[in-house]
Structure 1
């Protein structure tokens, strides 16, 4: 029985690779209709630096009507906001810690009053402590869960109902490939990202019958940003860090084409398939 199961997995593996490649080729050569961002108000959490900053610039470049930034460091938010405003796109920022539930709901109310209804929510804020489970104190572990997981729950709860009323909205999650393939030494981060992935997967399925409202989950490998400084991989030449500008470009394009899941780089599909194959066999 075990030999038959192993044989079945071995036969299925190349088929899975072929299907992933086929989907990628079809999407590459097929011109898809893209969403016009001219009427959208885009909120980006963690928008003052890193990928969030590049996302703000890309949404503005692609024609978003208004860009709103949330984050914990006013200096970074102000600098990014000024940079976006200089391009001619209306931009606002609010200091908000998404790990604080009451602060999220309060700032959501202020945002609606001052800027208007959010139609694209980008949950990008995240933290990495870079410590082992035994070296992390309980407060640090809770902070990771609050920002990486619960913060996404609270922001979605704050803005999704109005999107459903308007039949116009999109919820985006900048997740991580580590949500599908964990590594040692980052238990709190991998756990929080796996929970975030499950949340988005369930939300995406739940919104299939809701016209005008969609979801996008982006699963990048580690990026060349301040957040991942000092991170080491086993084969750095084979798996170099991603360019944050590219991640932002692919994310905005995924929103405009209503693509549910994006894995970056595409070669990470092999990692996911190999893990599933190993689990089954």
Structure 2
């Protein structure tokens, strides 16, 4: 009887807190509150072009100290110059192949020594193969998982301890709408993005349970972004799922970080894709075909070799 009463009271408390937090979020949505990142150390992986470059420019305008990681040194240095021109307090560009754990650890130690403890870690680097599963080589699969997923483990291992020690920091990951739904010729990418989403969400819960509420987590799930990474990809129902501009995605990401959102899905209604689990199999396939998920990469022209500018997001 006591356990039933306890359960009832717990349920009532949760419902009341649910309503309170919903009202609080509604008020915050229309408020001007945004955290100040001036002088904060922001590390961005995959910063040589695309979303990463746009993020660097956005944070530069907010007066942040930028740490830029990319395998493409030339493109990364160009991003650094753009960041300086847009008001970054300081810019430090490093060559780092995030597909290699030991390289991540080595460059992370260099950053701590030369710049300091990272305040905002943005895991943005990614690759996409655009092949059917049986056409993917073993090295394709391993490389995709190393860059898109495992790199998040190693960067968090490197920079999270300092955040935990001071109970302050922000972890951000550029996942994908493919974290929510699969697509033809994206088996490796979808697997890596699902894993990334799950890792970051579980880590957020872990930090909350540990009382480290000063450490924020933001998981970003954009649809296809107009970068060289998706050259040749075509969206069938553009009025539902248009290919997104990298500048727009970066702007929305920065806004989500400043407002300390847990999830950012672009376009926002794409989160409805998770409802697929309630539908019969034939309806799932019907909707997937209608939305073009079978044909996105029919004209994909292949990914560049490692180190070329189109490698990172």
TM-score by length of 1: 0.87
Q: CA offsets per residue over residues 204-231 of structure 1, 9 Å max, x none?
A: 1112220321100001111111111111
Q: CA offsets per residue over residues 175-230 of structure 1, 9 Å max, x none?
A: 00111111121100000100001101101111222032110000111111111111
Displacement after TM superposition at 1:29 (Å): 5.0
Indicate yes or no: 2:241 matched with 1:239: yes
Residue 277 of structure 1 aligns with which residue? 278
Q: CA offsets per residue over residues 33-86 of structure 1, 9 Å max, x none?
A: 21110231000000111100001111111232x011101110100100011112
User: 2:101, 2:154 within 8 Å by CA — same for their partners in 1?
Assistant: yes
3-state SS of 1:134 partner: helix
Residue 84 of structure 1 aligns with which residue? 83
3-state SS of 2:260 partner: coil
Q: How many residues align?
A: 258
User: 1:32, 1:257 within 8 Å by CA — same for their partners in 2?
Assistant: no
User: 1:74, 1:95 within 8 Å by CA — same for their partners in 2?
Assistant: yes
User: 2:221, 2:264 within 8 Å by CA — same for their partners in 1?
Assistant: yes
For 2:29 and 2:39, the matched residues in 1 are separated by 28
Residue 224 of structure 1 aligns with which residue? 226
Residue 151 of structure 1 aligns with which residue? 151
Larger radius of gyration: 2
Residue 308 of structure 2 aligns with which residue? none
For 2:152 and 2:121, the matched residues in 1 are separated by 10
Matches within 5 A, 1:96-115: 96-115=96-115
Displacement after TM superposition at 1:32 (Å): 5.2
Displacement after TM superposition at 1:254 (Å): 1.1
Residues 210 and 29 from structure 1, CA distance in 2 versus in 1: closer, same or farther, beyond 3 angstroms? Answer: closer
Residue 129 of structure 1 aligns with which residue? 129
Residue 93 of structure 1 aligns with which residue? 93
Matches within 5 A, 1:1-281: 26=26, 30-31=30-31, 33-64=33-64, 66-89=65-88, 90-208=90-208, 209-273=211-275, 275-278=276-279
User: 1:33, 1:257 within 8 Å by CA — same for their partners in 2?
Assistant: yes
Residue 16 of structure 1 aligns with which residue? none
Where structure 1 has 5 or more consecutive residues not aligned to the other structure, the ranges are 1-21
For 1:26 and 1:224, the matched residues in 2 are separated by 32
For 1:142 and 1:279, the matched residues in 2 are separated by 33
Residues 180 and 77 from structure 1, CA distance in 2 versus in 1: closer, same or farther, beyond 3 angstroms? Answer: same
Q: CA RMSD in A?
A: 2.1
Residues 28 and 164 from structure 1, CA distance in 2 versus in 1: closer, same or farther, beyond 3 angstroms? Answer: closer
TM-score by length of 2: 0.78
Displacement after TM superposition at 1:27 (Å): 6.9
